[in-house]
Amino acid sequence: MAFNDPIAELLTKIRNATRAQHRYVDVSLSKMKLEIIKILQQRGFIAHYLESSERKKIRVFFKYLPDRSCVIHGVKRVSKPGLRRYVGYSNLPKIYGGIGNAIVSTSKGIMVDEEAKRQKVGGELLCYIW
């Protein structure tokens, strides 16, 4: 099935799988999705991921707390194909007082809001995760 917005597809699959308390979810492989998943792993939102080049899929394994609640509480797509949102490094929002992260696509690659502020680059605000 073809999707017009592959990032929204990734975030929706993550949101639905965590709400249903699945151990993992499979998503189609693309460079941008892989970079977003790497950021999620670095920030501690997912346990790990497996990349299958021959199947062109990424299997994302979720991280759960001992009471079986997921570490990911929410995911929101901000910039959409119909309405792109661009921000400067000084206007990057704080998500839940710094608990969450904003993922930004900059000229230096995809990065979290803290790294974009440190490098003083703005860009397209892809999504929020908390």
pLDDT of residue 4: 86
Q: What is the pLDDT of residues 27-77, one digit of tens each?
A: 999 999 999 999 999 999 999 999 998 999 999 999 999 999 999 999 999
pLDDT band at residue 6, thresholds of 50, 70 and 90?
very high
Q: What is the pLDDT of residues 67-93, one digit of tens each?
A: 999 999 999 999 999 999 999 999 999
The answer to whether position 67 is within a domain reads: no
- Does 97 score more than 90 pLDDT? no
Pair 25, 60: CB distance under 8 Å: yes
The answer to whether position 38 is within a domain reads: yes
pLDDT band at residue 3, thresholds of 50, 70 and 90?
low
Same domain for 86 and 54: no
Same domain for 81 and 52: no
User: Helix/strand/coil (H, E, C) string of the chain?
Assistant: CCCCCHHHHHHHHHHHHHHCCCCEEEEECCHHHHHHHHHHHHCCCEEEEEEECCCCEEEEEECECCCCCECCCCEEECCECCECCEECHHHCCCCHHHCCEEEEEECCEEEEHHHHHHHCCCEEEEEEEC
Counting the structural domains of the chain, the total is: 2
Structural domain harbouring 102: 75-129
CATH of the domain at 26: 3.30.1370.30
The answer to whether position 116 is within a domain reads: yes
Where among 62, 84, 110 does a domain terminate? 62
